[in-house]
């Protein structure tokens, strides 16, 4: 577990050994399952350390919808922790951790340093194409009057362009974006996708400054064996948690 500890917020980047949720195979359906009870593994790693008792995860569906939490009544009960579908969470509540689970997709942590707002995004290529980042910023501006120039960005571990191999037809999914060719990496006769570059270019278009982006925690989940990778392990891959809490 790697921590970014600031005066007004705390960010945690999990790995295989800490702040993670391990998958198990459902014998009836022969596929992996992540259950609410496994939430306790994250609790032991993060909640006790941060001295808080509430954390929110959603049932991630690779979409562009999410939850904006401004009142304690909106927080799901622990036994229903994964019942609400969505791929981003925003909150202005203190001592409430919000998180995403990933195993190759990109976790993006956002912090409004002026309005003191936290947001976290589960960003795979499908969510990015569906404009999940744009929708998060719409919520931030509508609900909190956030200015993109005040947003700090932390990139978590994800599949890197060094390893995220795709076929040439994959890029048809991205052709509506004028910058998509900048996300294509060619090595010999193989093609790779630069997921973080795709997300970064979207943020730049929204007005976020490169100087406000922190790449320190953006390790490749495929070639760095500290992390879970769905591409390597398939359905049995666990998930590392990325979490932010306002102090």
From 68, 66, 152, 154, select the one nearest 111 (Cα to Cα): 152
Three-state DSSP class for residue 25: strand
What the block records as the tokens of 124 is 């795979």
Q: CA 87, CA 105: separation in Å to the nearest integer? A: 11
pLDDT above 90 for 30: no
Q: CA 100, CA 244: separation in Å to the nearest integer? A: 10
**Confidence category of residue 34, pLDDT binned at 50, 70, 90:** low
Q: CA 91, CA 120: separation in Å to the nearest integer? A: 9
From 112, 95, 99, 126, select the one nearest 242 (Cα to Cα): 99
CATH number at residue 35: 3.60.140.10
- Calculate Rg over the CA atoms of the chain: 17
Mean residue pLDDT across the chain: 90
pLDDT above 50 for 36: no
pLDDT above 70 for 39: no
pLDDT in tens, 82-135: 678 999 999 999 999 999 999 999 999 999 999 999 999 999 999 999 999 999
Per the model's pLDDT, the better-predicted residue between 222 and 234 turns out to be 222
Q: CA 199, CA 208: separation in Å to the nearest integer? A: 11
30-34, 119-123, 175-179, range with the lowest pLDDT: 30-34
pLDDT of the residue at 40: 64
33-42, 72-81, 180-189, 232-241, range with the lowest pLDDT: 33-42
From 7, 2, 103, select the one nearest 49 (Cα to Cα): 2
pLDDT of the residue at 52: 80
pLDDT in tens, 151-174: 999 999 999 999 999 998 999 999
Q: What angle do CA 62, 2, 67 make, to 5 degrees?
A: 35
User: Domain span at residue 37?
Assistant: 2-246
pLDDT of the residue at 118: 98
Contact (CB, 8 A) for 90 and 67: yes
pTM: predicted TM-score of the whole model, two decimal places: 0.93
Contact (CB, 8 A) for 199 and 106: yes
pLDDT above 50 for 27: no
Contact (CB, 8 A) for 223 and 160: yes
Q: Looking at beta carbons, which pairs linking 35-41 to residues 24 or more positions away fall under 8 Å?
A: 35/82, 36/78, 36/79, 36/80, 36/81, 36/82, 39/78, 39/81
Query: Any residues with CB less than 8 A from the CB of 65 and at least 6 apart, and which?
Result: 85, 86, 87, 88, 135
pLDDT of the residue at 23: 65
Q: 230-242 in b/e burial notation, b at 16+ Cβ within 10 A?
A: bebeeeebbbbbb
pLDDT of the residue at 88: 98
48-52, 67-71, 99-103, range with the lowest pLDDT: 48-52
What the block records as the tokens of 116 is 């003191």
pLDDT above 70 for 242: yes
Beta bridge partners of 32: 25
The total number of structural domains in the chain stands at 1
């Amino acid at each position: 577990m790697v921590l970014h500890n600031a005066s007004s917020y705390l960010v945690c980047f999990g790995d295989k050994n800490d702040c993670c949720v391990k998958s198990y195979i459902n014998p009836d359906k022969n596929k992996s399952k992540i259950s609410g009870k496994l939430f306790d593994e994250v609790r032991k790693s993060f909640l006790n350390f941060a001295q808080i008792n509430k954390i929110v995860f959603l049932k991630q569906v690779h979409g562009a919808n999410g939850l904006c939490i401004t009142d304690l009544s909106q927080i799901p009960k622990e036994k229903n922790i994964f019942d609400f579908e969505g791929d981003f969470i925003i909150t202005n509540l203190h001592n409430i951790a919000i998180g995403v689970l990933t195993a190759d997709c990109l976790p993006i942590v956002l912090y409004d340093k002026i309005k003191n707002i936290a947001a976290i995004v589960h960003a795979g290529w499908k969510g990015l194409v569906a404009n999940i980042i744009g929708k998060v910023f719409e919520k931030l501006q509508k609900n909190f009057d956030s200015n993109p120039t005040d947003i700090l960005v932390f990139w978590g571990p994800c599949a890197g362009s060094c390893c995220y191999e795709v076929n040439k037809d994959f890029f048809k999914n991205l052709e509506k974006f004028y910058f998509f060719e900048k996300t294509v990496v060619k090595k010999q006769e193989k093609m790779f996708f630069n997921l973080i570059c795709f997300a970064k270019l979207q943020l730049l278009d929204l007005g976020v400054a490169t100087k406000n982006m922190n790449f320190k925690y953006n390790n490749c989940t495929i070639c760095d064996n500290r992390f879970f990778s769905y591409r390597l392990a398939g359905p049995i891959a666990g998930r590392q948690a990325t979490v932010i809490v306002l102090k």
